[in-house]
C-alpha cells in the first residue's frame, strides 16, 4: 500500500508510522522531505502499511461478539501466562 493512500485512511503520527513499518523515525522523516534527502518507502514498508490497514479495517467492522471474545482471551491470558 502506498504511503499517501494509507494516510488518507488513517490519522497516524510519524512515530506511529515508524513502529508500523519497523523502521526509524529518521527513515520516515525522509519520506516527507523534499529534494535530495527524500526517499520512498520500500516494498517491505508498503507491505507493513497494507497489513496495518487490513487489520485496522477488520477491527472496525468486526461484530461485537468477536470484540468480547478477544477481551475474554486477554483476561484469561493474564491469569495464566504462556510457559
The predicted model scores a pTM of 0.79
Tell me the helices (H) and strands (E) count for the chain, helix number first: 5, 0
Read off the pLDDT of residues 28-42 as tens digits, 9 standing for 90 and up.
999 999 998 899 999
Can you tell me the distance from the alpha carbon of 16 to that of 19, in angstroms, rounded to the nearest whole number?
A: 5
pLDDT at 5: 98
On whether the CB atoms of residues 49 and 21 are closer than 8 A, the answer is yes
pLDDT at 76: 81
Residues of the chain where predicted confidence (pLDDT) is lower than 50: none
Three-state secondary structure call for residue 45? helix
pLDDT at 3: 98
Cβ partners under 8 Å of residue 22, min gap 6: 44, 48
Three-state secondary structure call for residue 74? helix
Amino acid at each position: 500500500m502506498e504511503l499517501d493512500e494509507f494516510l488518507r485512511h488513517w490519522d497516524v503520527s510519524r512515530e506511529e508510522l515508524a513502529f508500523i513499518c519497523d523502521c526509524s523515525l529518521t527513515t520516515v522523516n525522509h519520506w516527507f522531505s523534499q529534494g535530495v534527502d527524500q526517499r520512498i518507502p520500500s516494498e517491505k514498508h508498503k507491505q507493513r502499511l497494507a497489513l496495518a490497514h487490513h487489520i485496522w479495517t477488520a477491527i472496525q467492522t468486526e461484530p461485537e461478539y468477536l470484540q468480547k471474545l478477544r477481551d475474554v482471551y486477554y483476561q484469561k491470558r493474564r491469569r495464566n501466562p504462556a510457559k
